Amino acid sequence: MNAVPPDKSPHKGKTGLKRILNACVYSIAGLRAAMQHEAAFRQEVLLAVLLVPAALLMPVSAAGKALLVGSVLLVLIVELLNSAIEAVVDRISLEQHELAKRAKDIGSAAVMLALLNVVVVWALVLLG
């Protein structure tokens, strides 16, 4: 019998192209789950659908466009991480706990800072 050493995950055995394909499938599943279960993510995707094309049409340098688009994509990334933290906390227990609240509040603060970053980056790039 092939026992998995205690310091190794049984889910980490794939390598090469198979690992890349699996990662893509899992990533798409994660995006679908976020769209289905997370209202904040859906709102931020709508914001991205509006702001990314606007950024690409702005009369700014390529670096400016990259900053504008990157700041918007950062919000989506941080929201995905926040949603993952919330899901794990809720999986562990739905009862009120100081550490669970702290984890959720810190994740929320990260999203707020990412949104503030959008405002600052866009203002700096567009107002020069």
Catalytic residues: 79
Quickly list H helices, 38-61: 39-57
The answer to whether 84 and 29 have CB atoms below 8 angstroms apart is: no
How far apart are the C-alpha atoms of 75 and 67, rounded to whole Å? 13
Residue 109's closest CA among 81, 128, 73? 81
Q: Is 11 helix (H, G, I), strand (E, B) or coil?
A: coil
Two tokens, residue 103: 């984890």
Q: Is 51 helix (H, G, I), strand (E, B) or coil?
A: helix
Strands (DSSP E) along 4-112, which ranges?
A: none
